[in-house]
Amino acid sequence: MPSSDDYKRQVMRDLAGGDKEMMPDDTASSYQNFDDFAQRSSRDERHNLFSRSFHPDRVPASQMEPELQKAIAQIKPNERKDVAQEFFSHLKKRGLQDRDLEKQLGLSTHHPSHMSADDVSKLAGFAYHNHPDVFHEVLADQPALVKFLSNPVVGAVFGAIAAKWMGGRH
């Protein structure tokens, strides 16, 4: 497995070279910016893009978790509650109860409306590492979170979206 710095350099080279492979050409829509993408793209389109971009095999949890902490701290409290509710809902379908997750992850509460940014970050990190498909589902449902991620690896997502925007404007 390449080192983190090697991987970042490769991502930046791909972005500089206009590598578009992360977002298939069958996406017909042209988006003006990320907010436009988040609002007009289909849930499946977002899910497919995030599934390819955010996976523990591609972005180690050691890199993603600090980014999640920063991003979750920047979203509005009502959005943070929505993100927490989504994680709990999807994890419950896997047989993981909110009270059990509260104890296991050391959360201050299992009530999404009372959770701190740190609590939601722990929940997101747990899903990313242990249930990546749940993580992708939540990102597809709550794309505002992606806007606040800054890691160069996350830049690949924006690069893929930007390549699509630019591709439609020739």
Instruction: Determine the structural domain holding residue 114 and report its residue range.
Output: 39-167
Q: Is residue 78 part of a domain?
A: yes
Q: Is residue 17 part of a domain?
A: no
Q: Is residue 131 part of a domain?
A: yes
Closest residue by Cα to residue 51 from 165, 126, 128, 123: 128
Residues whose CB falls within 8 Å of the CB of residue 151, separated by 6 or more in sequence, listed in order: 59, 63, 64, 67
* Residues in the chain with pLDDT values less than 50: 1, 19-29, 165, 169-170
pLDDT the model gives residue 99: 95
Total count of domains within the chain: 1
Q: Is residue 88 part of a domain?
A: yes
Please report which helix (H) or strand (E) contains residue 71, including its range.
helix 61-74
pTM: 0.66
Q: Is residue 3 part of a domain?
A: no
